[in-house]
């Protein structure tokens, strides 16, 4: 049973290639079903989910994408399209998806190949209203899940979570990952259990990494420096099917898990965008550009007055406000 007083857990599965990360995530999906959770699995091109029983799976694909699910005999190029084995649901937006999520199913969500950001995210981040790569859709999804008015428990499972929150980002993605950071702070009380996986914790943005409350170590995993585990190299000796779970502030211990059925086939998913060409030209000026152009036309003082008006209305974050103000100062000093 879920403990509504304790709230949800955010756990990161770490391990070398072939250590069983995807298999363990599959076990967590089955556990979510048994607990009565709404189980969400992020779909990828090479994925584990076709090994689930078809009657347990609902596949969601954007209305502008065509999805083909292929079953391929090991050692051959013989492939069979198996779309008809699954319930495939077309969606326009997150609201449509949420209406069709229910306990008893593993909901495989494929992000659109191209996506826009919700108006609220555009306002928070001051980004441009253009089309972004599909992985950006998950920033909308995390923000949506964190703000929803709903007491149902969700198991959100994202293999290779560093696709969405990679380290070393800059520009738009840096600001959007900050939204993920804040969303994860809300997930515990919004009953969203996030289970992600990656090979190396260094591949994940440090702001997000510190938001995980539990770490699951499989063979060859790299233990974060802030872990309380005494012997951080002990994961090298783990056998396949064995792991160590650490809940920060509480301790750690070992566990075992079994393999999931294999049927002698590989599975591949092809997703092809059939919608309009992505908008790569900016539809509107960013606030930074608008203020700097005003400074060149009317002077830095006028631009600063405009910036302060926008700040008083709450239409710019404090961080972005000070970034623009610094640019104005450089312009005034002749440094730009």
CA distance 210 to 227: 11
Q: 10-273 has which fold?
A: Rossmann fold (3.40.50)
CA distance 292 to 303: 7
**The predicted structure's pLDDT at residue 205:** 94
**The predicted structure's pLDDT at residue 1:** 56
**The predicted structure's pLDDT at residue 283:** 43
**The predicted structure's pLDDT at residue 281:** 46
3-class SS string, 209-236 = HCCCCEEEECCCCCCCCCCCCCCCCHHH
**The predicted structure's pLDDT at residue 200:** 94
* Cβ contact 267:72 at 8 Å: yes
User: CATH 3.40.50.300 in the chain, residues?
Assistant: 10-273
What is the enclosing helix (H) or strand (E) of 81?
A: strand 79-81
* Cβ contact 199:10 at 8 Å: no
pLDDT digits (tens, 9 = 90+) for 223-235: 998 898 888 888 8
The stretches in the chain having pLDDT less than 50 are: 281-284, 336
Q: Token pair for residue 316?
A: 């710019």
Q: Give 113's Cβ-side CA count (13 Å radius).
A: 16
**The predicted structure's pLDDT at residue 335:** 52
pLDDT digits (tens, 9 = 90+) for 110-166: 999 999 999 989 888 888 888 999 999 999 999 999 999 999 999 999 999 999 999
**The predicted structure's pLDDT at residue 282:** 41
Q: Token pair for residue 47?
A: 């994925």
- 157 strand-pairing partners: 41, 195
What radius of gyration, in Å, describes the C-alpha atoms of the chain? 23
Q: At a CB cut-off of 8 Å and minimum separation 6, what does 213 contact?
A: 9, 10, 11, 188, 247, 248
**What value does the mean pLDDT of the chain take?**
91
**The predicted structure's pLDDT at residue 284:** 47
CA distance 335 to 333: 6
């Amino acid at each position: 049973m879920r403990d509504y007083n304790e709230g949800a857990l955010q756990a990161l599965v770490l391990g070398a290639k072939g250590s069983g990360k995807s298999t363990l995530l599959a076990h967590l999906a089955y556990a979510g079903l048994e607990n009565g959770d709404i189980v969400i699995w992020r779909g990828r091109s090479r994925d584990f989910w076709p090994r689930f029983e078809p009657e347990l799976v609902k596949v969601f694909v954007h209305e502008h994408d065509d999805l083909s699910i292929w079953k391929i005999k090991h050692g051959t190029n013989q492939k069979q399209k198996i779309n008809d084995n699954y319930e495939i649901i077309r969606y326009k937006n997150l609201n449509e998806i949420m209406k069709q999520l229910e306990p008893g199913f593993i909901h495989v969500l494929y992000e659109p190949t191209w996506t826009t950001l919700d108006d609220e995210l555009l306002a928070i981040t001051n980004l441009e209203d253009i089309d972004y790569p599909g992985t950006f859709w998950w920033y909308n999804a995390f923000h949506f899940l964190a703000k929803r008015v709903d007491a149902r428990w969700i198991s959100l499972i994202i293999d290779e979570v560093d696709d969405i929150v990679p380290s070393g980002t800059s520009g738009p993605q840096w600001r959007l990952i900050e939204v993920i950071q804040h969303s994860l702070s809300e997930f515990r009380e919004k009953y969203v259990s996030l289970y992600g996986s990656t090979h190396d914790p260094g591949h994940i943005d440090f702001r997000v990494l510190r938001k995980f409350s539990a770490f699951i170590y499989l063979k060859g995993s790299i233990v974060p420096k802030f872990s309380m585990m005494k012997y951080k190299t002990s994961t090298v000796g783990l056998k396949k099917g064995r792991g160590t779970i650490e809940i920060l502030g509480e301790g750690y211990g070992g566990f075992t898990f079994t393999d999931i059925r294999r049927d002698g086939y590989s599975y591949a998913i092809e997703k092809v965008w059939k919608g309009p060409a992505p908008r790569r030209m900016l539809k509107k000026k960013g606030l930074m550009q608008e203020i700097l152009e005003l400074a060149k036309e009317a002077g830095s003082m006028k631009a600063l007055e405009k910036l302060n008006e926008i700040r008083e209305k709450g239409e710019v974050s404090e961080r972005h406000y000070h970034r623009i103000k610094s640019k104005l100062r450089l312009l005034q000093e002749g440094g730009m």
